[in-house]
Amino acid sequence: MRQSVVRLDDTATGDQLPENNRSEKLIRRLYEITSNDNKGFGEQTRELLAMPCERFELEIGILSPIDFDRYRIMHPLCPDGIPLEDDIEFH
């Protein structure tokens, strides 16, 4: 009879977790954010923007429509002191 032993090291950091575990956590977090209607669209958007910012170690996240030569900032996520606000438009 053959036996297999799998050792799970619970000291692993987020970068050391198996890919499927990271994916499950990501999907769970997306569900938590999008299913909580009490926060409102603006707060949900900020939380969704924070996810890739954290993952890729970015300070700024922006949701913007781009229409030909017009670029409008709709939902910026940035540190204090950076002058990005909703509805700033560039041509």
What are the start-end ranges of the E strands in the chain? 61-63, 66-67, 70-73, 75-77, 88-90
**What one-letter code names the amino acid at 87?**
D
Token pair 């669209």 is found at 41
Predicted local distance difference test score (pLDDT) of residue 42: 86
Phi and psi at residue 89, to the nearest 5°: -120, 140
Predicted local distance difference test score (pLDDT) of residue 15: 55
Predicted local distance difference test score (pLDDT) of residue 5: 45
Q: How far apart, in whole angstroms, are the C-alpha atoms of residue 55 and residue 77? A: 14
- pLDDT tens, position by position, for the chain (91 residues)? 444 444 444 555 555 556 678 889 989 999 999 998 898 888 999 999 999 999 899 999 988 889 999 999 888 888 888 888 888 888 8
Q: CB neighbours of 66 closer than 8 A, spacing ≥ 6? A: 72
